[in-house]
A and B are shown apart, each in its own frame.
Chain A
Amino acid sequence: MNWASWSDFFAMGGYGFYVWGSYLVFLLCIIGEIVLIINRRRTLHKQLSLIHKATKQEMSNETTP
C-alpha cells in the first residue's frame, strides 16, 4: 500500500498535475469515443425507422384499391 492517505494519493509525490492530467484525458477520450459511437447508432436508427415507415406507407398505399 503506497499511500498514507487520500490526499497523499492525489498529491502523487508532487507530480499529481502530470499524472492526473494524463489519466483524466485518457478517461475523457475513452468515454468520448464510446458516447460518439452510441450517438451515431442512435441517429442512424432514427433514420432507418423513418425509411422503414416510409416504405411501409408506400406499400399500403399501393395495395388499397
Chain B
Amino acid sequence: MAINWFKYSSPPSFYSLAGKMIPLFSITSIVLFALGLYIGFFVAPTDFQQSEAYRIIFIHVPAAWMSMFLYLIMAGWAAIGLAFNTRLSSMIATAIAPTGAMFTFLALWTGAFWGKPMWGTWWVWDARLTSELILLFLYIGFMALQAAIDDPRRADKAGAVIALVGVVNIPIIYFSVKWWNTLHQGATVSLTQSPKMATTMLTGMLIMSLACWMYSIAVILMRTRTIILERERNTMWVSDLQGAA
C-alpha cells in the first residue's frame, strides 16, 4: 500500500482535515492549561529564594521555547514551499509567523516582569535578551515583507528567504547563556543531565509547554484554513463550499 504523501498537500483536502483536527487540539490545550496552572499555583511549593515571583516561569519558559520552536517550524515549511513550489507549505509558514511573534513578545514581556523584582531592571542588553529581541524583529520582518508584496507566490518566496536567513539566530539564542557571560541564567532543563528543578515545578512547566504547543497547533491550523480560503476564493471548491454554507 503506497502512501500517497501528497494527498493532504492539496488545499481542499487539507482544509477539511484541519477542520476536524482543530477541536481536538483546542480541547487538549484547554485541559493542559488548566492542569498546568493548577500545578503551578497550588501544587508547586514556594521557592526558598524568589518566594512567589518564580511562578512566572510557568509562562515565561514555555513562551520562550515556543518562540524558538515555531521559528524553526516556520523556516522548515517556508523551505519546503520554496523547494517544491507547494503553495500550501508556504501558507502554513505564513500562518505560523503571528503566533511565533506573539510568543516571542510574551517571552520578552514575562522576562522583563520577572527581571524587575529579581534583577532590579526591566531590561539589560544581555546576549539572551538581545537575541530574543532580534527574533521578534525577524518575525515582524517576515510578516511585513510578505504583506508588502501583492502577489502571494512572490511573497512566499521572499518570506522563505528571510525565514531561512534568520534560522542562524535560534542556536545563538539557545547557546547565548553558555557562550557569553550573561545575566540570564544558564540552561536549567536538559535532556541529558538529571533535573535541577523541583519535580512539581518542572512538571508544571512541562505541562504548560505542552499546552502552549497544542494551542499553537490549533491556532495555526485555524489561520491556515483562513489563508487557504482567502487565496482560493475564486476556485470551484470554495464556491461549492460557500454554496453549501
Contact = CB atoms under 8 A, between A and B. Distances in A.
Instruction: Check if A and B associate.
Output: yes
B91 to A, nearest CB: 14
B238 interface: yes
A53 B109 CA distance: 46
- The prevalent SS among residues of A at the interface is helix
Interface in B87-123: 98-99, 102, 105-106, 109-110, 113-114, 116-117
A28 B233 CA distance: 31
Nearest to B60: A22
A33 B102 contact: yes
Contacts of A52: 239, 242-243
Given A13-B52, A21-B113, A29-B105, A48 B238 contact: yes
A12 B102 CA distance: 26
Contacts of B215: 30
A18 B114 contact: yes
B45 interface: yes
Interface residues on B, range: 35 or more
A18 B56 contact: yes
A55 B239 contact: yes
Contacts of A9: 41
Given A2-B44, A15-B51, A15-B52, 7 more contacts: A12-B52, A12-B53, A19-B53, A22-B59, A25-B106, A40-B223, A48-B229
22 contacts: A12-B52, A14-B51, A18-B113, A18-B114, A18-B117, A22-B56, A22-B113, A25-B109, A29-B106, A33-B98, A34-B219, A37-B219, A37-B226, A40-B223, A40-B226, A41-B226, A41-B229, A44-B229, A45-B242, A48-B229, A48-B233, A48-B242
- The prevalent SS among residues of B at the interface is helix
Interface in A1-48: 1-3, 9, 12-15, 18-19, 21-23, 25-26, 29-30, 33-34, 37, 40-41, 44-45, 47-48
Contacts, number: 90
Contacts of B245: 45, 49
Interface in B48-68: 51-53, 55-56, 59-60, 63
A22 to B, nearest CB: 4
Nearest to B243: A52
Nearest to B102: A29
A1 B41 CA distance: 9
A25 B111 CA distance: 12
Nearest to B51: A13
Contacts of A21: 113
A13 B46 contact: yes
Contact of B106 (A19, A26, A48): A26
Contacts of B102: 29, 33
A36 to B, nearest CB: 8
B42 interface: yes
B222 interface: yes
